[in-house]
Structure 1
Amino acid sequence: MQRYVMDNNKNTNVKDFQIRDELINSLKNRFTTYGYKQVRTSTFESYDMYSNIIGTVNKDEMIKVIDSSGKVLVLRPDVTIPLNRMTTLNGLNEDNQRVFYVLDVFRQSNEQADQKESTQAGVECFGDQSAETDAEIIMMAIHTLKDLGFRNFKIEIGHAGFFKELIQQTNLTSNELDALQSLIHSKNLIEIEPFLTQLDIDENVRKAIQSIPMLYGNPEIVTEQAKSIIQNESMQSILQSLIDIYELIKAYGEENSVVLNLGLINNMNYYSGVIFQGFVDSVGKPVLMGGRYDHLSEQFGQPNPAIGFAFEVDLLIHALKQQGLTNNQSTVADIIIQYDKDVQIEALRSAYLLRDYGYQVLTYSTNSNKNSSNLGSKFTIEFSSETYLLHGQGTKQAFSNQEELMSLLQKEEL
């Protein structure tokens, strides 16, 4: 896959912003069809809320500010945590069970020192803990990628608990665990064996961990392979939950859109169940990440199972451009009206009517020296002293009043 470098000059012109706006509208429309309602969280959040939550964003990556009272705040580094807190403290009801957001998040890192802001579009489903909900969330991600025109993509599905169960049977230090996770994440099969051999680990557990990076691909094949490294009933239950989710995705008819990846490790440690990420051609990073986090709300005082995912909007835009899936039409309006001064009243009233019907309309007097053919539009309407003409779709048709104009436009668009 091609390496992606974040464009720090996003939205530098009108066309870029329109691509972004159309993408976000597509995401919102699809989320809405699954029964999700839009919400937002504050741009500024209490630093303590993030610093006191286990498994959240790296504190060094948070962008901190101090308000006039001396309180330390952070620019929102994550949306899941404040949404979970809001839902848990306010109590679960039909209005906040299924929510979506399109919000900027702010982080700083050594890898991308000049990129501190990105836009995420995501969904969160609270209060339901079932394979049906997990499969539906994954299906929404698949459905959305298809909406955008992507055909060659894959959703990798794993489970936060599978690897954790194996690690709990070892005495690895935090440094050793970090090194091991890095090797598994990069699927470094050459170095992982000697690394594990030097550690004091039971041989069966060592062989199981060593096989984790290879448990990737066709879900039916991977689940059969995984059965050979099951160490306890908990791992068996985890594997069965993944099988149940996959069977539901098959019922939707989208089994070819997913692969199983038992070496999938997410850097957000609050995930407790199924985790997943989505890849498209031309982007070497996941364009979406998500999973189940049933225990996060317990840190706010009460249980509230949840699952969600977020698209990285900037990565999606990059992929759309790379694959030629953006709207390259250079039209500046649906309709351009050009009129002589003595029929100005008819032209402007027609423009008013057309805008009322939702058309984008630009008007120019023939004395303005504007050449409407160079401006770019679906239709051009000429109001002159002699005749009224509608130009469009390779045709030229005369009309005498607004009713005839609307009739002609409707026929042209059929």
Structure 2
Amino acid sequence: MEKINYLLPEESAEMTLNQVKSLRQIEGRLRKLFGLKNYQEVMPPSFEYTQLYTALESNGKTFNQEKMFQFINHEGQSITLRYDFTLPLVRLYSQIKDSTSARYSYFGKIFRKEKRHKGRSTENYQIGIELFGESADKSELEILSLALQVIEQLGLNKTVFEIGSAKFFQRLCHLADGSTELLTELLLKKDLSGLNAFIEKNSFSKELRELLKEIFITNELSRLENLVTNTKDDVLISSFDQLKEFSEKLSMIKPIIIDLGMVPKMDYYTDLMFKAYSSAANQPILSGGRYDQLLSNFQEEAVAIGFCCHMDTILKALERQELEEDND
């Protein structure tokens, strides 16, 4: 009799018993928090028509079809496993909207093909919220405040919260004059030596060169403000001023770091972006941002913002944190 292969496919992500226990505890705390803030839990379908993703554009880009798990259904139509939660909830808001605003929460898995040996799973558990239709200022402060409250519910001791701007990033790419792909790669990797070499090869203004040289190494608010102001670029200055305002308003809850080199995790981010990190994890534990432009694909015009917790990363960080505490 042939032996049964008990190994899991490389694409799979199996949680340990302790991870499942921790996940359910965190889910309980966050369900309570979201409920108190009037976020209604939704459960989007696991399968979508592939066209939901491929027919939409954001900032002139379409979603990466190569990362989707696609199938042909009985109708001969291409369908895909849920690639993210945001698009299905944008569709939901556009279809059943019965008021000027809507608040949704979700708990579940997304599925994205990843390159082999990158340490990333193709199935990932996410917990998140989306807010539609409120004023920009109210939406941003509500979501940022909730993100900080969520971090406190995760059980991780050493965390950092960073904010950035998609507008600031896009303006830097425009000023890079045709070197968008290279600049994006350098910013993503936080490659200081590579960035310095890039600066030397281009004839940027003195002020822009100074800004780029310190974009990774300066966190002091006054120094960042001087560097940005010296560029005399209206988009860079207005984007920074917005980030500064958020930092000052939320500093009573938790210190906020402004990351002017933050690169949009998703192409549909168009304004405010933010990420949270733990000393016990190599990847962000939480990420989010504004994505108003996506709604225009559904003939809607409204402020849209949200975030998700990357639970697989969080659960591994909790285990690593516990191990470090035991060793101490």
Q: TM-score range by the shorter chain?
A: 0.7 to 0.9
Q: In the alignment, which of 251, 261, 265 is matched to residue 259 of structure 2? A: 261
Q: In the alignment, which of 9, 23, 26 is matched to residue 23 of structure 1? A: 26
Q: Judging changes above 3 Å, is the alpha-carbon distance between structure 1 residues 74 and 11 closer, same or farther for their aligned structure 2 residues?
A: same
Code of the residue aligned with 1:135 in structure 2: it is L
Question: 1:372-411 to 2 correspondence within 5 Å?
Answer: none
Q: Conserved in 1, the CA contact under 8 Å of 2:38 and 2:103?
A: yes
Q: Conserved in 1, the CA contact under 8 Å of 2:13 and 2:121?
A: no
Q: How much has 1:263 moved relative to structure 2?
A: 0.6
State whether structure 2 residue 328 is matched by structure 1 residue 323: no
Q: Conserved in 2, the CA contact under 8 Å of 1:99 and 1:124?
A: yes
Q: Conserved in 1, the CA contact under 8 Å of 2:247 and 2:257?
A: no
Q: Judging changes above 3 Å, is the alpha-carbon distance between structure 1 residues 206 and 54 closer, same or farther for their aligned structure 2 residues?
A: farther
Give the TM-score of the pair, scaled to structure 2.
Answer: 0.86
- Cα distance between partner residues in 1 of 2:305 and 2:227: 24
Match of 1:244 in 2: 245
Unmatched 5+ stretches in structure 1: 1-5, 326-414
The secondary structure found in structure 2 opposite 1:41 is: coil
- Cα distance between partner residues in 1 of 2:280 and 2:137: 31
State whether structure 2 residue 15 is matched by structure 1 residue 11: yes
State whether structure 2 residue 132 is matched by structure 1 residue 126: yes
- Cα distance between partner residues in 2 of 1:104 and 1:231: 44
- Cα distance between partner residues in 2 of 1:118 and 1:170: 34
Q: How much has 1:84 moved relative to structure 2?
A: 1.0
Residue-by-residue CA offset, 1:219-269 (whole Å, 9 max, x unaligned) = x3354244334433232221221122122213xx2242x211111102312
Match of 2:309 in 1: 311
State whether structure 2 residue 48 is matched by structure 1 residue 45: yes
Q: Conserved in 2, the CA contact under 8 Å of 1:283 and 1:319?
A: yes
The secondary structure found in structure 1 opposite 2:135 is: coil
- Cα distance between partner residues in 1 of 2:193 and 2:120: 34
Code of the residue aligned with 2:242 in structure 1: it is S
Code of the residue aligned with 1:233 in structure 2: it is D
Question: 1:267-306 to 2 correspondence within 5 Å?
Answer: 267-306=265-304
The secondary structure found in structure 2 opposite 1:324 is: helix
Q: Conserved in 1, the CA contact under 8 Å of 2:130 and 2:306?
A: yes
- Cα distance between partner residues in 2 of 1:7 and 1:295: 32
Q: Conserved in 1, the CA contact under 8 Å of 2:125 and 2:310?
A: yes
Match of 1:110 in 2: 115
Q: Judging changes above 3 Å, is the alpha-carbon distance between structure 1 residues 227 and 178 closer, same or farther for their aligned structure 2 residues?
A: closer
Q: How much has 1:90 moved relative to structure 2?
A: 2.8
Deviates more, 1:98-107 or 1:177-186: 177-186
The secondary structure found in structure 1 opposite 2:307 is: strand
Deviates more, 1:22-31 or 1:203-212: 203-212
The secondary structure found in structure 2 opposite 1:295 is: helix
Q: How much has 1:110 moved relative to structure 2?
A: 0.9
Q: Judging changes above 3 Å, is the alpha-carbon distance between structure 1 residues 108 and 244 closer, same or farther for their aligned structure 2 residues?
A: same
- Cα distance between partner residues in 2 of 1:129 and 1:323: 39
Q: Judging changes above 3 Å, is the alpha-carbon distance between structure 1 residues 76 and 195 closer, same or farther for their aligned structure 2 residues?
A: same
Match of 1:136 in 2: 142
Over the residues paired in the alignment, what is the CA RMSD in angstroms? 2.6
Residue-by-residue CA offset, 1:1-53 (whole Å, 9 max, x unaligned) = xxxxx99553354x443222112112212222222110121111111110122
Q: Judging changes above 3 Å, is the alpha-carbon distance between structure 1 residues 45 and 8 closer, same or farther for their aligned structure 2 residues?
A: closer
Give the TM-score of the pair, scaled to structure 1.
Answer: 0.69
- Cα distance between partner residues in 2 of 1:166 and 1:298: 25
Code of the residue aligned with 1:278 in structure 2: it is A
The secondary structure found in structure 1 opposite 2:114 is: coil
Higher relative CO (CA 8 A, sep ≥ 6), structure 1 or 2? Answer: 2
Residue-by-residue CA offset, 1:172-214 (whole Å, 9 max, x unaligned) = 1xxx322211112222221212223334655544444444333
Q: Which entry has the higher C-alpha Rg, 1 or 2?
A: 1
Code of the residue aligned with 2:52 in structure 1: it is M
Q: Judging changes above 3 Å, is the alpha-carbon distance between structure 1 residues 206 and 89 closer, same or farther for their aligned structure 2 residues?
A: farther
How many residues are matched? 311
Q: Conserved in 2, the CA contact under 8 Å of 1:162 and 1:262?
A: yes
Match of 2:97 in 1: 91
Q: Judging changes above 3 Å, is the alpha-carbon distance between structure 1 residues 49 and 7 closer, same or farther for their aligned structure 2 residues?
A: closer
Q: Judging changes above 3 Å, is the alpha-carbon distance between structure 1 residues 166 and 116 closer, same or farther for their aligned structure 2 residues?
A: closer
Q: Judging changes above 3 Å, is the alpha-carbon distance between structure 1 residues 74 and 222 closer, same or farther for their aligned structure 2 residues?
A: farther
- Cα distance between partner residues in 2 of 1:191 and 1:223: 21
Code of the residue aligned with 1:97 in structure 2: it is A
Q: Conserved in 2, the CA contact under 8 Å of 1:46 and 1:72?
A: yes
Residue-by-residue CA offset, 1:136-158 (whole Å, 9 max, x unaligned) = 21221221221233231111111
Q: How much has 1:315 moved relative to structure 2?
A: 1.1
Q: How much has 1:73 moved relative to structure 2?
A: 0.6
The secondary structure found in structure 1 opposite 2:216 is: helix
Unmatched 5+ stretches in structure 2: 1-9, 324-328
Q: In the alignment, which of 73, 76, 79 is matched to residue 79 of structure 2? A: 73
- Cα distance between partner residues in 1 of 2:233 and 2:202: 22
